[in-house]
Structure 1
Amino acid sequence: MDARIVSPTHPAFHITMALSNTKPRGIVVFSGGSAANSLVDVFQAVRENKKCLLSYVIPISDNGGSSSELIRVFGGPGIGDVRSRLVRLIPDDPEHEDSEKGAIKIFFNHRLPKDRTVAKREWLQIVEADHDLWSHISTAKKELIRAILNMVNFEILKRLRPSSTFDFSGASIGNLFLTGARLFTGSFESAIYLLSSICSVPEHTSVLPAINTNFTHHISAGLADGTVITGQNSISHPSISTALDDATPSVNEDTELHDAIEDANLPGSLPTLRKQYINFSKADEDDLPARIQRLWYINPYGQEIKLAANPKVISALKDAQAIIYSIGSLYTSLIPSLILKGVGQALANPTIRYKILILNSTNDRETGPSDAPFSALDFIEAIAKAGAESRGYVGEVPKYDYCSYVTHVIHLTGPGTPPVYKEELRDIWIETIRIYGRRGEDGGFARYDEKALVQALEAILGKRDPRAERNRRNTLES
């Protein structure tokens, strides 16, 4: 039946109108910060081809780097990865190297020097508008940004105590601004909106914190040998593990020592969550003593808690045609978002046809140890277990249910890449696509090639055909 001649009283008329007015469903990307930033242009290209909304879901459990000092003094969520993605999304202006957009990107990505005294001196230059970073930023935006930074500076002075002073070493200007905006508005969501507006983030792209909160939320990881590691920084980077069940005198003494410091931490909270992790190495990472088996959220005293996801994340998932699990740390970039209440149910929704894992090009500290590195199936199992736990199921997930959470795996081949057993995955209805990457310095395939990755994603999702809308309207059958 031709839709052009369907009577308004015919049932097919209403179906035709609904189809013609349907907006394309969106794409939701789960990721952390720095690693996935390299693929932003890839996701943008796919979004443009599909003419749909793009949402990034970012965890807020990071307690390392300059974020650790902001959390110690002000409390609140770990904002570093959110800030990193917002600034990365600033549109490039290749025709004008000294454009305002470029200057804002440099400004919010700028970190103060490592030396504590020099860092504080430079911070004062910035808030007093006596710094080269302000060049090429319009007066209107400069004064808006400076107002927030000056408010942060005032709040730092208010919290100054003999036992506690703010350490500006290596501080991110963007993190300081986002913290100030959150304190000023009283809303993390509003702070993100303000920074998004200043950074000119496109309207069709959203950066969604996994949890919309003004509080600090930490994570713990349980290893196969029974060890419990507390705090994201300790999980991701070499650190002394903390067993929560051992109330040794040394731990009690450490707690009392931290209780004497006036900061944003509750008295009696775990010492490992109150330490400054401003300086740590991302390069030389020791193996964990055993594989990570489970990850969960804790309160300041180390007790497990169940948290609900940001309602906007659930809304984006319900309106998604595809989910992409991006590259990055499996247990500290992806899993913290997947175990939240509401996420697992949304992920398992069969109306979402494509659930794509972009497999890391190498195993890291979280997916070792080196004598038992993760395979693609191990990555998928971790995602499936997180989704099931979000739904209230604890324990092993049947392999045949893995495809409820992952339907496709895109991967590289070469030295050090996680092994992918195609037949094994095919047996549980998961498709694999191998693509070639850029050669690293050692000759191996170390990085994804952007063009090849876009082609792989489009091969799965299909390109949007501009004739589709016309054909759909004209070929509806009764």
Structure 2
Amino acid sequence: MTSARGIVVFSGGSAANNLVDVFKSLVEKKKCPLSYVIPISDNGGSSSELIRVFGGPGIGDVRSRLVRLIPDDPNDDDSKKAAIRAFFNHRLQDDPGMARQEWLNIVEARHVLWTDIPSEKKELIRSFLNLLNLEIVKRARPSSVFNFSSASVGNLFLTGARLFSGSFESAIYLLSNICGVPDNVSVLPAINTNFTHHISAGLSDGSIIVGQNSISHPSVPTALPENVRLEIEEHDRIEDGTLPGSLPTLRKQYITFSKTDEEELPARIERIWYINPYGQEIRPRCNPKVVDAVDYAQCIIYSIGSLYTSIIPNLVLADVGEAVAQTKARYKILILNSNIDRETGPSSAPYSATDFIAAIAKACASSRGLKGSVQPNDYRTYVTHVLHLEGLNTPVVEKVVLNKLGIETVRLYGRKIEGKNVVRYDEKGLLQALEATIGRRDPRADVSRRNTVESRYPPV
């Protein structure tokens, strides 16, 4: 591996996991390091129960990326890698009682998941699961017991490792080594912390949504209820890992929620900010390693994913916007989502490519402490290229407008999903487009229907 400047990818969890192989191939050809920057503000799913009982960051997206990075090496035993992957991705059963029994079977090494996991890794993993199990028993109270329903085993392991070492960073290091993540790849939490950090969203109609899960998934977007004091007093009777007086919205269990048939927001999201447990706005600093990675980058990529809950929480942190603005990286590439979702609607006024870029620029400017609205002429400070698909439900790309702002647009041909009116990025085409964009070779070479720079080089 050379000392070439690296590539930094701002992303969330599940959506960007689909592009891991693309980024892997890209850095192998560029012979450079790769850094994934991932937010820790998710308070939904099994993470919500871990946060409720133990506090600490939302770790689900970090765990998901680490496990996805398990390499496919033909010289290794595929069954062992598959077993590690299945183990850390496994979720316990939905029924709380059955889930608890399944957990005990795992802790006691009687579960089928342990099959094919090497003994040295098995006993290392079990030691942290046993430690977490002890902490769960110690913290049990008549008013609060841990709910194992749908819990991710990987999240449970990361929590046990963090509680043992007192360091989220060390827990990530341990899981990285167990998973065999390549040395040139880093998974960086946006904030390196042992504490919980939540976000709020302000909508253009003046309403506020508290907590990432409520922003991403169907909820009633209202300000704090009038009877919030009574609700806080009720929650304060429960002894768990949250501070007395914390907002009830941040103390609820969000173990189950819908990722489909999402209700539209009544208005566009205007701003994302971090809050303390009492709902007051705070401005936390980012992980210093994120700034170092951005400073030393040749390319910054804003990956596909939820704009306001996967990408923006990374960018509004103190020091990130300045690092993005001042980096020597020549390429700041937005891989535009292939569809409009809850966060980039409503359907009456869906986001265009320019809206995505404006949101990124506004977040970075907020991080820098700049007051007032960001002007279009400033967009190129944060985004230089847009890679996008074209088809049903894809965001509109105003090529002429963006080109006048100095932002180049690159259209790719995607893959149609059978039975659905949607398109997805083709890995080979996206890799070729990224290589061409960051100057590995002339974009006119090897043009195919999977990789077309429409604005300059028509398809052949």
Once the two structures are superposed, the pairs formed by residues 20-419 of structure 1 within 5 Å of their partners are 23-93=3-73, 99-244=79-224, 248=226, 250-349=227-326, 351-419=328-396
For the structure 1 residues 147 and 380, does the alpha-carbon distance in structure 2 shift closer, same or farther, using more than 3 Å as the test?
same
* Conservation of the 8 A alpha-carbon contact between 1:65 and 1:278: yes
The structure 1 segments of at least 4 consecutive aligned residues displaced by more than 6 Å after TM superposition are none
Rounded to whole Å, the distance in 1 between the matches of 2:420 and 2:100 is: 43
Count of residue correspondences: 442
Rounded to whole Å, the distance in 2 between the matches of 1:266 and 1:301 is: 9
1:345 maps to amino acid: E
Displacement of 1:352 in angstroms is 1.2
Deviation track 1:100-131 (CA, whole Å, cap 9, x = no partner) reads 11110000000001011110110000000001
Rounded to whole Å, the distance in 2 between the matches of 1:125 and 1:146 is: 11
1:90 maps to amino acid: I
Q: What SS does the corresponding residue of 1:279 show, helix, strand or coil?
A: coil
Which consecutive residues of structure 1, in runs of 5 or more, have no partner in the other structure?
1-20, 466-478
Displacement of 1:348 in angstroms is 0.8
Q: Which moved more, 1:157-166 or 1:393-402?
A: 393-402
Displacement of 1:395 in angstroms is 2.5
* Conservation of the 8 A alpha-carbon contact between 2:2 and 2:32: no
Displacement of 1:444 in angstroms is 4.0
* Conservation of the 8 A alpha-carbon contact between 2:435 and 2:441: no
* Conservation of the 8 A alpha-carbon contact between 1:93 and 1:101: no
* Conservation of the 8 A alpha-carbon contact between 1:412 and 1:445: no
Displacement of 1:441 in angstroms is 2.6
Q: What SS does the corresponding residue of 1:393 show, helix, strand or coil?
A: coil
* Conservation of the 8 A alpha-carbon contact between 1:51 and 1:464: no
* Conservation of the 8 A alpha-carbon contact between 2:297 and 2:327: no
* Conservation of the 8 A alpha-carbon contact between 1:83 and 1:174: yes
Deviation track 1:195-229 (CA, whole Å, cap 9, x = no partner) reads 00000000000000000000000000000000000
For the structure 1 residues 181 and 242, does the alpha-carbon distance in structure 2 shift closer, same or farther, using more than 3 Å as the test?
farther
Deviation track 1:398-445 (CA, whole Å, cap 9, x = no partner) reads 100000000000000000000001001001000000000110234645
Is 1:453 the counterpart of 2:453? The answer is: no
1:386 maps to amino acid: A
TM normalised by structure 2 equals: 0.94
Rounded to whole Å, the distance in 2 between the matches of 1:32 and 1:445 is: 21
1:75 maps to amino acid: G
1:293 maps to amino acid: E
Q: Which moved more, 1:434-443 or 1:77-86?
A: 434-443
Rounded to whole Å, the distance in 2 between the matches of 1:464 and 1:123 is: 51
Rounded to whole Å, the distance in 1 between the matches of 2:31 and 2:78 is: 30
1:40 maps to amino acid: V
* Conservation of the 8 A alpha-carbon contact between 2:296 and 2:327: no
Q: What SS does the corresponding residue of 1:62 show, helix, strand or coil?
A: coil
1:27 maps to amino acid: I
2:407 maps to amino acid: I
Deviation track 1:329-380 (CA, whole Å, cap 9, x = no partner) reads 0000000000011100111125210000000000100000011000000000
Rounded to whole Å, the distance in 2 between the matches of 1:49 and 1:281 is: 39
Rounded to whole Å, the distance in 2 between the matches of 1:126 and 1:394 is: 52
* Conservation of the 8 A alpha-carbon contact between 2:294 and 2:327: no
Q: What SS does the corresponding residue of 1:99 show, helix, strand or coil?
A: helix
1:58 maps to amino acid: I
Which consecutive residues of structure 2, in runs of 5 or more, have no partner in the other structure?
443-460
For the structure 1 residues 22 and 164, does the alpha-carbon distance in structure 2 shift closer, same or farther, using more than 3 Å as the test?
closer
Displacement of 1:95 in angstroms is 7.5
Q: What SS does the corresponding residue of 1:56 show, helix, strand or coil?
A: strand
* Conservation of the 8 A alpha-carbon contact between 1:49 and 1:464: no
Q: What SS does the corresponding residue of 2:326 show, helix, strand or coil?
A: coil
- Percent identity at matched positions? 69
For the structure 1 residues 26 and 125, does the alpha-carbon distance in structure 2 shift closer, same or farther, using more than 3 Å as the test?
same
Q: What SS does the corresponding residue of 1:321 show, helix, strand or coil?
A: strand
Displacement of 1:96 in angstroms is 7.2
TM normalised by structure 1 equals: 0.91
The structure with more radius of gyration: 1
Q: Which has the higher relative contact order, 1 or 2, with Cα contacts under 8 A spaced 6 or more apart?
A: 1
* Conservation of the 8 A alpha-carbon contact between 2:295 and 2:327: no
Deviation track 1:291-330 (CA, whole Å, cap 9, x = no partner) reads 0000000000000001101000000001000000000000
